[in-house]
Each structure stands twice: as C-alpha cells, then as structure tokens.
Amino acid sequence: MRRAFWLRLFRILLVALLASGAIAWAQSHGRPQLGWAVAAGLFLLMLALDWRRRLLRARGSREARWEAALYAPEKRPRAIAQLRRALARLDADDPRRRSEHARLSLLLCDLLDASGAYEDARAVVDPIDLATLPPLEAALVRHSRAVIHLRGSDVTAALDALAGRSPSGDTELDQRLALLEAYARMEQGSAQEALAYASELEGLRGIDDSVALEARVVRAASLDALGRREEALVALAALGRSALGPLSDLGQPRVRALAKQVLEGLDEP
C-alpha cells in the first residue's frame, strides 16, 4: 500500500511538473490557451491510465476468486453465476475480446466440471473457435476440451480434441497435451505405450515439477490399466496428501478412484 501511494504521488508530481512547463512555454510564446489545453490533456491522460490500472487490478482479483472456487465447493455456484454474467457481456466475435472470452470460458468450464456438470462444461468449451485464437490460447482450449471429455469418459472426443494440433510455443503445455493423449490411448488399450512415455517424460532432467507430477499420474493410471494396482497405488502415494486431495476430487475417473484408495489407506490407524 505504501509503495503504491508513493508511486501515485510521483506520477501526480511528474504530471504537474510537465503541465507547469507546458503553461510556462506557451505563455512565453504568447499562446497561454495552448498551455492550459496541454496541461488539461496531461491530467486527463493520467486519470485515464489510473482508471485502467484499477480496472485491470479489479479484474485480476475477480478472476483469482473464481479460480479459488475450484477448490471450494461451497463457492462454486456463485462463481459460476458471476462468470456466466461476465461472458454474456462479451462478444466472442469481437477480435479485441476473443482472448478474454476464451479465458473466461475455460475457467467456467473448469468450475462446471468440478461441480460434476459435464454436459454444461462441454457446451461451454466445444464451441470455442480455435481458428480465431493464437497458437498458445488454442492449445489451452484443446487441453481443456480433452480434460473435460476424459472426465466424462468420452475417450474418442478427447482424442479428437487433441488431433491435428501444432506446437503451442510453450514446451510445458505441449508436454501436458502429449500426456493427455497418452492417457486417452491408455484407456483405449495402449497402456504399455502410455506407461513407457510417462516414465520417460518423468525421468527427463530439467522437466517442470508440475509436468513431472502429471507424468507420475499417467504412469500410475497405466500401471492400474495393466492390472498392476499395487504398483499404481505406490506411485500415487509418493505424491503426498497435498496432491492426492485435488486428484481425488478433480482427477480423471480412474485416477480419482486410485487417489481415494490411497487416501483411505493413509487415514487408517
């Protein structure tokens, strides 16, 4: 707060100094009205920029609350209602608002999915036009589509969402998409191939911790699909309670069951 106050005071003093200079220069050249016009323009610009900063902070705070609702079931209905109203005010066909519309749609999709409303989540994410989005944002939409379809046990739709994708420009996101494809193919019967890929990715040096965690989850699910449940439980248990909680609530159906079994074992006396 104190730092923000001093920065705002500095901006006011700077604008005042520039305005004073403009007025003095204009008066020395016999054009006082020009000086006052420039001064007024500077102050209006400062107010506009200040308003924009406040608006962006408010939006960021609002979206942070909606994201937090993913892990707070009692807050999800309100967040979903607020998100629907926010999206209704956005025109998805407006090039200036497409990115914001896609971002809020994915957040709404996640909240609906977390609430068990699979069909509603699918109705939000499927209509998003990938062709109008930059590669990174299009990849994020693909990721959400695949996740939603897998949670709804529609493996074919998940693979369709992942088909024909181009590099997103983000290595970690591309790795997550590849893991989702491996998981989907595992559910179709290619568990050995999924296990090999997840194990290889998990063992890479320098890999992001969150990607390594997802690879561990795919490895555990693949072990379970191969009938090696005890090994699958051990693999998941190594993630710790902090990761198992969200997985037992928001993971894919097979992973949810495994995570719940591990947690039940940890809670036994």
Contacts of 120 (CB under 8 A, 6+ apart): 112
pLDDT tens per residue, range 83-93: 899 888 888 77
The domain tally of the chain equals 2
User: What is the residue-averaged pLDDT of the chain?
Assistant: 81
For 131-184, the DSSP string reads: GGS-HHHHHHHHHHHHHHHHHTT-HHHHHHHHTT----S-HHHHHHHHHHHHHH
Percentage of residues in the chain having pLDDT higher than 90: 32
Question: What is the reported pLDDT for 55?
Answer: 41
Tell me what the mean pLDDT of segment 21-30 comes to: 62
Do 74 and 60 meet the contact criterion of CB atoms below 8 Å apart? Answer: no
User: Which among 101, 134, 162 is the end of a domain?
Assistant: 162
Question: What is the reported pLDDT for 215?
Answer: 93
pLDDT tier for residue 56 given thresholds of 50, 70 and 90 = very low
pLDDT tier for residue 117 given thresholds of 50, 70 and 90 = confident
pLDDT reading at 108 higher than 50: yes
**Is residue 123 a part of any domain in this protein?**
yes
User: Which among 162, 190, 225 is the end of a domain?
Assistant: 162
For residue 138, what are the domain limits? 76-162
pLDDT tens per residue, range 124-133: 999 988 888 8
Lowest mean pLDDT among 13-17, 24-28, 56-60: 56-60
Report the C-alpha gap between 168 and 116 in whole angstroms: 29
pTM exceeding 0.85? no
Lowest mean pLDDT among 178-182, 214-218, 261-265: 261-265
Tell me what the mean pLDDT of segment 235-253 comes to: 85
Question: What is the reported pLDDT for 242?
Answer: 82
Report the C-alpha gap between 179 and 185 in whole angstroms: 10
Question: What is the reported pLDDT for 58?
Answer: 44
| 243 plus 260 within the same structural domain | yes
| 196 plus 142 within the same structural domain | no
Question: What is the reported pLDDT for 207?
Answer: 87
**Is residue 249 a part of any domain in this protein?**
yes
CA nearest to 153, candidates 252, 249, 223, 251: 252
Q: Which two tokens stand for residue 43?
A: 């102050």
pLDDT reading at 50 higher than 70: no
Higher pLDDT, 246 or 196: 196
pLDDT tier for residue 197 given thresholds of 50, 70 and 90 = very high
| 266 plus 186 within the same structural domain | yes
Do 109 and 148 meet the contact criterion of CB atoms below 8 Å apart? Answer: yes
**Is residue 264 a part of any domain in this protein?**
yes
User: Which among 115, 139, 162 is the end of a domain?
Assistant: 162
